[in-house]
Amino acid sequence: MAVSNRPLNRQDFKTLALAALGGALEFYDFIIFVFFTVVIGELFFPPDMPDWLKQVQTFGIFAAGYLARPLGGIIMAHFGDLLGRKRMFTLSIILMALPTLAMGLLPTYATLGIAAPVALLALRILQGAAIGGEVPGAWVFVSEHVPAQRTGFACGTLTSGLTAGILLGSLMATAINTSFSAEEIRAWAWRIPFITGGIFGFVAMYLRRWLHETPVFQEMQERKHLAAELPLKKVLREHKSAVLMSMALTWLLSAAIVVVILMTPAYLQKQLGLAAAVTLKANSIATIALTIGCILAGRIIDSLGAGWTFIAGSSLLGGVVWHFYNGVLADPSTLYLNYALAGLAVGIVGAVPYVMVNAFPAVVRFTGLSFSYNVAYAIFGGLTPLMVSLWLKTERLAPAYYVCSLSILGVLIGFTLLWQQRRQSR
């Protein structure tokens, strides 16, 4: 990682902007699926299947993308630590764009029968493999381009770019639901976001032509300090505590993003009977607040350090999320303001990569971060939609209970980081 104390220069801002924009376009491809789970469930499963089971199975296909992340992430990270960050950073885009485009062209259950959900599952797995390399690679890439004292801001800015991809998805879904009738969406308009996503992927690939390899990797390459053995083997042997900490942070991140941002529009439609256009508009507002929150969290962690940032940020997350779900069930008119506050509190996820990129040495940083993040996301992010969906059958506040529980974990992580910092300073 860069060690100078210089301020951010024009090239740094250009790198951050291009990486964040490319990440936004690619992340849009990965998450657009979740905004159309209701219509996908209707089109890709038998019509006589109960609605709740369709929803669970649709979220199951969504979750498959998370379960596929470790394999793609580990493979791309392996070559990223040996051949360069930029090459893998670019490869992940093609692996995302093509399946997204194919989803938009895929025949439904009425045409293909059981082959339709199977094909959808296969494409979702390919998307998962691509995003498994994209997110950790992006964090490593930007952190190795900036001065060490600006790592939090760089990671927060990149994460805000990824969340902007969620915003693009939300805006696209809002536009589709306000421009077309339910019948038109079911007949053909649901395909527009996926076809557009495929085009976005190729735009992102073009943008990354202007990025350069990280100075940290170039220096390791020149000095021949690249990993002499399998990077993953070295990570698992020498950096177990860093892996566990990164996995715990990923659990917190997945709970906040998957539940509060990705699942809540469908939750509001099912639990309160709100129109899709209303819930998606509220989601767009919350995601704008999240994007701002990520940058703020990055700046704060550069100033206060990881411990206090996670103690305060996780406490805020738990309190605000509990207020949001209780408030909207009691009075739906509070939706927009409370959802915006919840989105801002979820911005604590922008501080997560700061801890992870600092937890591993440069020689195995990509592999260590990618393995920890993707395996944990496969477990926690992948199972969360299924678990919360099933829990909702008996408890309307299931999302609030789940996120608040993980907020407590975030506070404990903060105290652990604070203890580690004080021990190292002695």
246, part of any domain: yes
Among residues 214, 213, 227, 233, the alpha carbon closest in space to that of 81 is found at 227
Termini Cα distance of the chain: 24
175, part of any domain: yes
1, part of any domain: no
- Cα–Cα dist 168/193, whole Å: 10
3-class state of residue 2 by DSSP: strand
420, part of any domain: yes
Token pair in block for residue 42: 């209707």
Chain Cα centroid distance, residue 362 = 23
245 pLDDT tier (thresholds 50, 70, 90): very high
Res 352 pLDDT > 50: yes
3-class state of residue 174 by DSSP: helix
Sign of the CA dihedral running 411, 253, 297, 344: negative
364, part of any domain: yes
Per-residue pLDDT reduced to its tens digit, 397-406: 999 999 999 9
Number of domains making up the chain? 1
5, part of any domain: no
- Cα–Cα dist 76/83, whole Å: 10
65, part of any domain: yes
CATH number for position 133? 1.20.1250.20
206, part of any domain: yes
Residue 49 pLDDT: 78
Residue 155 to residues 198, 261, 295, Cα–Cα distance (Å) = 26, 20, 8
Q: Which domain holds residue 107?
A: 10-425
- Cα–Cα dist 195/128, whole Å: 18
Res 224 pLDDT > 60: no
Per-residue pLDDT reduced to its tens digit, 227-244: 555 778 888 899 999 999
**Rounded to two decimals, what is the model's pTM?**
0.81
Among residues 129, 123, 132, 131, the alpha carbon closest in space to that of 102 is found at 123
Q: Find tokens 């990965």 and name the residue.
A: 30
